[in-house]
Amino acid sequence: MYFLPISIALFLLFLLLIPLLLILMPAVAFAKMGLSPFAGLIFYLLCLFGSTINIPIYREALPHREVNELVSFFQQFFRIRFPMVRERIIAINLGGAILPMLLSIYLLTFADIKATILATTVTTVASYFLSRPVRGVRIVMPAFIPPIVAALAALIFAREHAAPVAYISGVLGTLIGADILRLPKIREFNTPFLSIGGAGVFDGIFLVGIISALLS
C-alpha cells in the first residue's frame, strides 16, 4: 500500500496553490531586477500572450525546388494539388523577442556593460551548441539550460547586479545563439515562414526572466 507523507487536504491545497505560485514567481523574479511586482506580472502576461503575434520584417523569394517524379505521379494520379509557395516571410515574435529586448534595453541602465557583454557571449556560445535545426520543427533546444547558463555567468561576472545581467544575457544570448546564428541553416529547409523568438526558442526566452533572476 502507498501512503502520502501529508494529509489529503494539505495535498489538495498544494495542488490548488500551484497556479497561484506560478503567477507569483514572475512577480518576485522581476522585482529582483528593479521592477514592481505588479509591473513584472503584467510584463510576464504580455510576453505570454504576445507569443501568438509575429510581425513580418522581411520577405524573400524561395528557391525553386525540384519535385520527385514518384511524388509528382501520385499527385497527378490522385489529383492532389498543393498551393505553390514562392515567398518566405521572416518575422519577429512580439512576446519572444521584441518585449524581452525592450526590457533588456531598460535593464542596461542597472547593469555593468562589461559583465553583460561577457555573460552574453557565454550564453550565446552555449545556446548555439545546445540548439539544433530540425526540418519541420525549426529549432530544438533544452529550454532550461540557457537561463541557467546566463544566471551562472552573471554571478561570475557581476555579483552586485547579477539579476539584470542574467536577464539581458539570457535574452540576447538565446536569440543570437539559437535563432539568428542558426537562421542560414534553417533557411535551407525552404520553410515559408520563420519567426525570430518564436517556436523552439520562445520557451527558453520565457524562462529566462524567472530562472535567471531567481538563481541570481
Report, as ranges of residue numbers, the positions in the chain whose pLDDT lies below 70. 1-32, 34, 62-86, 136-137, 200, 209, 212-216
87 is a domain residue: yes
The end-to-end CA distance of the chain, in Å, is: 42
Dihedral sign (CA 180, 183, 185, 191): positive
**Which pLDDT value is given to residue 193?**
78
Residue spans of beta strands (DSSP E) within 43-131? 54-61, 87-93
Question: In this predicted structure, what is the pLDDT of residue 133?
Answer: 79
Give the pLDDT score at 4: 42
Per-residue pLDDT, 128: 92
Number of domains in the chain: 1
Contacts of 8 (CB under 8 A, 6+ apart): none
Residue 131 belongs to some domain of the structure: yes
Instruction: Answer whether residue 189 is part of any domain.
Output: yes
What domain range includes position 126? Answer: 8-215
Residue 129 lies in a domain: yes
Task: Enter the C-alpha cell of residue 190.
Answer: 525552404
What pLDDT does 3 receive? 41
Q: Is residue 119 assigned to a domain? A: yes
Does residue 1 lie in a domain region? no
Helices 145-157 and 162-174, axial angle in degrees (round to 10): 140
DSSP string, 157-181: H-STTHHHHHHHHHHHHHIIIIIIT
- At residue 29, the pLDDT reads 67
Determine the pLDDT at residue 126.
Answer: 93
| Bridging pattern class, strands 138-140 and 132-134 | antiparallel
Query: Does a structural domain hold residue 2?
Result: no
Residue type, 144: F
Whole-angstrom Cα distance, residue 201 to residue 206?
9
Q: For residue 114, what pLDDT is reported? A: 93
In a domain, 3, yes or no: no
- Listed residue (45, 161, 44, 145) closest to 107, CA to CA: 161
Gyration radius of the chain's alpha carbons: 21
pLDDT of residue 118: 95
